[in-house]
Structures are given as C-alpha cells and as structure tokens.
Structure 1
Amino acid sequence: MSPEQPQEDEQGSDEESMIDSQMSTLFDASAFDDDDEDDEEDEGSEEDVCYDATDDEEVLDEEPSEEDGDFLASYTDASHSVDVSDRPDIRRMFSVNDRYRFRRELFSNSEVDFVDNLNLVQAMSCYEDAEDYFYNDLQWDKEFEEVVEFMSIIYRYFNSTR
C-alpha cells in the first residue's frame, strides 16, 4: 500500500463522521420540543393577525354607497345578468371527439388545461369575456379552424343560457 491510501481513508472517515454529526444536528429531537417562550411568541403573533382580520371584517361589513350603486348600474346589462349557477355544465356542450381534438390542437394535449379553461369560461358572465380571454390573453388565431369551431361552441353555450 502506498502512504497516500491511508490518508484518503482517513479523509473519507473524517468526512463520514462530519456528515453523521451534521445529520444528528439536523434531526436533533430537541429542535422539536415545545418551549413555553415559543408558544408565547406564537400567541402574540396570532393576536396581531386576529386583530387585522377584525379590522378587515369591519370594512367588509360596510354598506355600499350610492356612488357604488350608480357605477354598477351603469355596467349592468340584462345580457350579463345570467346567474352562473343557472347555466348547464359547459363540458356537455362538447362531444367526445371535440374534447380530444380541442385538447390536442388548442391545449397542447393537456386535459388539465382544457378543463381549467372550460371552468374559467363557465365562470365568465358573457361571450365577450371569453373572446377577450382566448384572443387576447391566450393569443389564439381567430382564423385557425379549431379556434373557430371551439369559439362557436362557446358562443352557443352563452346563448343557450339566455
């Protein structure tokens, strides 16, 4: 054996013992003990949070002013007042073939993206919101055949609820 080999073994064992000591420090059971001081600090911070929440609740309980009502009335339209809960499930508007085709062509073959976007559309108040979302936010091409067909189903969905 060369004289260098025992040094490497000693270094290896030193590294192992250092790792073992670090691991025992990381998983020291005393770190998980509850101290009364920590509990008192936690209680103080919870009180602050509760106090802030109480302030928020008071703000939320305020009655809307007449100015707010005027603002909302100017943007309220009979076509926008359909209750979302009165609508049918948007997924029923799509055939099985449509679901596979649109998922593949428009949502990168992601079922999650497809369903999330349908849920988002279902929560929207009108077709114009859906158009704005798909054409501006997702930047879909209005001329693309699948986009045209998908949007026609979305259009039928919003018009079937009036």
Structure 2
Amino acid sequence: MSAWTVRPAAGPADRAACFAVRREVFVTEQRVPEEIEYDAHDAEDAATVHVLAVRADGTPLGTGRLLHGPAAASRTGADPGVGALGRLAVTRSARGLGVGAALVRAVEDAARALGLAAVDLHAQTHALGFYERLGYRAYGAEFPDAGIPHRSMRRALRT
C-alpha cells in the first residue's frame, strides 16, 4: 500500500486542500497571478470534478480537475462528449512518486463514469513528455497561457 491515496474531493475541506496545492504550485512556484488561477469552475459545481492526492496523515500532495458538459466545451472548443483536464498540480515534495500519473488516471476514471469519449488538456510544454507517456497526443500550435507556453493534447478513453 502506498503512503498516499487519490480520491475525489468531497466537501469544503478537500476543496480548500486542492486550492492550497494550486496556490503553492501555480501562484508561488510558477508566479501565475492569483486572480487568474481561480475561475468560475472552482465554485461547487456539478460540471466540475476535483481530485485530491493526500498522505495517510491528510497532508495534500496534489490535485487536478475535470470539466465536463458545456464547461468543458467552452474551455476546449470540443464537443460536450469531451472532458477537460486542468489545474493538475503536485507539490514539490511529492514529485517523482507517481502522484501526477495517479491524478490523471483518477480524472480519466471520472470522465469514463460520466460517459465521456476523450479528455483534452492544455499542457505546459515542459510537461508534454509526462502526458505523452500517459497516452495523450499533442495537436495544434503552441500558445501562451498565464505567460507559460502550452500545447493542446487529447486522449481517447474508448474506441
């Protein structure tokens, strides 16, 4: 058994833990302005699934979110049958432990449970290899998001 688990975020304390990880990784480490890190999809919302990785003692290690339905379509420009994985963040102390891959798989499991056919994401270009190892394929041109170069990627969940 690993010293950490990944689960859907449930309730205000879990959501606060997700936001704390994002603040640490995106706002503090990557200097993303806090006012653009959080958006309307972070409100408790049926079209958003947050996942959380925690140590056995409850310390948050990582998070990610899945947008689905019209929320995903507005983010990715894709049809409503495609989910949008975003805000994937792993604390510095948990990197290299497989937490990020487990979070991606948890988002994919949630997408499958919703009947989605694929998951899209906007990957920071330095992370392309990570997502490629998980079965994602890049498409389209590079673009900036929060001043950081990104590429769109997709993985089909069923054939």
TM-score (ref. length: structure 1): 0.23
| Structure with the greater alpha carbon radius of gyration | 1
Q: Comparing both structures, which one devotes a greater share of its residues to helix?
A: 1
TM-score (ref. length: structure 2): 0.24
